[in-house]
Homo-oligomer: A and B are copies of this chain.
């Protein structure tokens, strides 16, 4: 796609997201239908499902030949990243949504032949849409973001997930000891945003493709590095122990991870 085509797609996706935001704002103040997927820490609600149905219908109409991967299963079964692939997380941070009505996001990513084109993370409660890609830059609503400072691990706060820390996976406790402290916000989208803004030096968690597809595009456009925790490339078709961080902190973390293999 040339830049003009990307801008047209971008304007379309923004409209979908604002409409989905309105839908979510209406639904979230009514009683939720909450059910467990794999257990009490893995929830889905009627809002996740309505949001996914809404977004996938929009994508199908707009780009009928594309493949779509959605967290709640209304999309396709994805076996390759060939062609246009849309990856949708209709409500990232469902536990926060259920328990806090805060700290959650809507995420969409568009890849073409495996290359990230456009990514979107909508911080719903702050009403800020983080959007963009390599051809257009990254924006927080209408404000263009500059790259966060390339600081080492020792200069920043680090975002982690609870299970990684408690299980001390890949030396996570030592990674945190080398940082200025650990933060846990409970939504991959919100954690990616903190990394974009330099509020954390990085973030690591076990993530599914819909948890990191959009964040990866935006983070890489801002000069951050997004890989598996050992520095190897991400697999877009399966779960990864994802690390998003500055270039300098990635070196620091790789040293720690290698000592803890």
Interfacial residues, chain A to chain B (CB-CB below 8 A): 40-41, 95-96, 99-100, 102, 154, 156-157, 162, 165-166, 173, 176-177, 180-186, 194, 197-200
The answer to whether B176 touches A162 (Cβ under 8 A) is: yes
The answer to whether B186 touches A185 (Cβ under 8 A) is: no
Q: A102-B199, A199-B100 are in contact. Are A41 and B95 (CB under 8 A)?
A: no
Q: What is the CB-to-nearest-CB distance from A162 to chain B, in angstroms, rounded to a whole number?
A: 4
The answer to whether A162 touches B181 (Cβ under 8 A) is: yes
Chain B residues with CB under 8 A of A156? 99
The answer to whether B173 touches A166 (Cβ under 8 A) is: yes
Chain B residues with CB under 8 A of A40? 154, 180
Count copies of this chain in the complex. Answer: 2
The answer to whether B157 touches A100 (Cβ under 8 A) is: yes
4 closest cross-chain pairs (CB), A and B = A100-B199, A162-B182, A184-B184, A166-B173
Chain B residues with CB under 8 A of A200? 99-100
Q: What is the CB-to-nearest-CB distance from A230 to chain B, in angstroms, rounded to a whole number?
A: 22
The answer to whether A182 touches B180 (Cβ under 8 A) is: no
Q: Which of B100, B166, B173, B181 contacts A176 (CB 8 A)?
A: B166
Q: A40-B154, A157-B100 are in contact. Are A181 and B186 (CB under 8 A)?
A: yes
Minimum CB distance partner of A199 in chain B: B100
In the bound assembly, the distance between CA atoms of A156 and B157 in angstroms comes to 25
The answer to whether A157 touches B95 (Cβ under 8 A) is: yes
The answer to whether A186 touches B173 (Cβ under 8 A) is: no
